[in-house]
Amino acid sequence: MVEAKEARIGDNTYRISHLPPKKSIRTLVRIMKTVVSPMMRGLSGSDEKKKSILDVDIGFDKIADGLAASLDEDTVIDIIESLLEYVELKKSGGFAAISLEVDFQGNLSELFEVVKESLILNYGDVLKKNLKLVSITDLKNVSTGKKSRKN
């Protein structure tokens, strides 16, 4: 069992726990379908010698167009609710489940900070380990649906 993480954000303390594996995978796939795929369409340039994602020219207009076409309010809210399902807020009697509608009313910046912390806790190690193994060509192929040369 992995320990929960406590995060101090603004005047509040949150306890963030890992999502169960099936929920974590489902949420990650939704994030990838909703956000990552359109962002990858924004990668430009054909120089396959680039070793890092940081070396790629990003077509921000393409990314914005892709995100605008793929994002809808219900999907974003569903992803946020999934990421917050195992987050608790420290109140006078101890930690308690959070309410998206009550605890973050008038404080969206804190909501997004908590979502960020949940993303880091749940997917930071996966991204850190696996992005090093993925080439720029593979990322472009994912966005276009082409098979990798390795397959």
Q: What is the pLDDT of residue 18?
A: 96
Q: What is the pLDDT of residue 51?
A: 53
96 has which bridge partners? 89
How far lies 70's CA from each of 32, 44, 57, 58, in Å?
11, 19, 22, 18
Q: What is the pLDDT of residues 80-112, one digit of tens each?
A: 999 999 999 999 989 999 999 999 999 999 999
Q: What is the pLDDT of residues 48-62, one digit of tens each?
A: 555 555 555 556 666
Q: What does residue 149 show for φ and ψ, rounded to 5 degrees? A: -65, -25
The pLDDT-based confidence of 32 (bands split at 50, 70, 90) is confident
**Residue 28 or 146, more confident:** 28
Once rounded to an integer, what is the mean pLDDT over residues 111-136?
78
Q: Tell the burial category of 27 from Cβ atoms under 10 Å away from its Cβ (0-12, 13-18, 19+).
A: buried
**Residue 44 or 100, more confident:** 100
Tokens of 49: 């010698």
**Residue 16 or 150, more confident:** 16
Query: Considering the entire predicted model, what is its pTM?
Result: 0.69
Provide the percentage of residues in the chain whose pLDDT is more than 90.
45
Position 49, amino acid:
K
Mean pLDDT of the chain: 78
Cβ proximity of 14 and 7 under 8 Å: yes
Q: Is a pLDDT exceeding 70 seen at residue 19?
A: yes
Residue bearing tokens 């309010």: 73
